């Protein structure tokens, strides 16, 4: 014989099951809508209407707005200042990419290509992107160790001087601009000699 509590529990279980089914169906509808993003239409013009931000430097994000970009990253090429940009994502009316190095010119060009890399359509922005040059420090010496326990710090020429870890301070010698001193964690201090490449 079922008690009042059993009936109430059964009702609550039915309510939760119905709620879960409703949530699942809404989620499924949204996913189907996302999958139906329009592809490139050869009968329509590819257009660039705007982009954001208006200025930036290498490595910054850039969003390009327009129409008829398609939805397949492998069939879209973007150049900024004549340099190829890495495309992160695309919808038919917006494109997300990374600003490449040395994009000094600033003109933005989108090219749609087919499976054989043949140009199908292109669009060029009316306004130019303002490329900002940045002072960058890149790796010019030292070795990268994937396993930290293999780390080795040693004296030697630029191509065999071990690694640099935890650099906290750099300064050029005021009497000899070819000497760069730096200190690092755990009382490490080293000299980089640009004349001798040591």
pLDDT score of 113: 92
The pLDDT of 34-41, averaged and rounded, is 68
Q: Are residues 66 and 121 in the same domain?
A: yes
Q: Are residues 153 and 78 in the same domain?
A: no
Query: Is the bond into 40 cis (omega within 30 degrees of 0)?
Result: no
Q: Are residues 125 and 60 in the same domain?
A: yes
Q: Are residues 86 and 152 in the same domain?
A: no
Residues of the chain with pLDDT > 90: what percent?
Answer: 32
Residue 104 belongs to a domain with what CATH number?
2.60.40.10
Distances (CA, A) of 75 to 72, 118, 129: 6, 10, 23
pTM above 0.85, yes or no: no
Considering the domain boundaries, does residue 28 fall inside one? no
Considering the domain boundaries, does residue 123 fall inside one? yes
Considering the domain boundaries, does residue 117 fall inside one? yes
CB burial of residue 48 (10 Å; 0-12, 13-18, 19+): buried
Query: In angstroms, rounded to a whole number, what is the distance separating the alpha carbons of residues 31 and 38?
Result: 14
Considering the domain boundaries, does residue 54 fall inside one? yes
pLDDT score of 64: 94
> 149: phi > 0 → left, psi -120 to 50 → alpha, else beta; which?
alpha
The pLDDT of 70-89, averaged and rounded, is 92
Helix, coil or strand: residue 77: strand
Q: Confidence band (pLDDT; 50, 70, 90) for 34?
A: very low
Could you tell me which of 125, 137, 119 has the C-alpha nearest to residue 97?
125
Q: Are residues 117 and 158 in the same domain?
A: no
Structural domain count, the chain: 2
Q: Are residues 119 and 91 in the same domain?
A: yes
Q: State which residues form the domain around 74.
A: 47-131
Q: Are residues 109 and 183 in the same domain?
A: no
Considering the domain boundaries, does residue 14 fall inside one? no
User: Around Cβ 162, how many Cβ atoms within 10 Å?
Assistant: 16
- Over residues 157-196, the pLDDT tens digits come to 877 777 767 777 778 888 988 888 877 776 677 888 888 8
């Amino acid at each position: 014989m079922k008690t009042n509590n059993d009936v109430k529990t059964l009702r609550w279980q039915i309510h939760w099951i119905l709620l879960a089914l409703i949530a699942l169906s809404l989620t499924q509808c949204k996913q189907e809508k996302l999958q139906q993003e329009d592809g490139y239409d050869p009968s329509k013009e590819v257009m660039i209407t705007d982009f954001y931000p208006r200025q930036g430097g290498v490595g910054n994000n850039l969003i390009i707005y327009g129409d008829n970009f398609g939805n397949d990253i492998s069939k879209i090429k973007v150049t900024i200042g004549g340099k190829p940009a890495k495309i992160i994502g695309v919808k038919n009316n917006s494109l997300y990419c990374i600003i490449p190095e040395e994009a000094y010119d600033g003109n933005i060009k989108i090219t749609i290509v087919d499976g054989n890399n043949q140009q199908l359509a292109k669009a060029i922005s009316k306004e130019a992107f303002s490329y900002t040059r940045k002072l960058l420090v890149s790796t010019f010496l030292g070795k990268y160790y994937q396993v930290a326990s293999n780390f080795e710090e040693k004296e030697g020429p630029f191509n065999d001087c071990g690694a640099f870890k935890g650099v906290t301070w750099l300064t050029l010698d005021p009497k000899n601009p070819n000497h760069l001193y730096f200190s690092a964690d755990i009382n490490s201090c080293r000299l980089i000699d640009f004349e001798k490449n040591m």
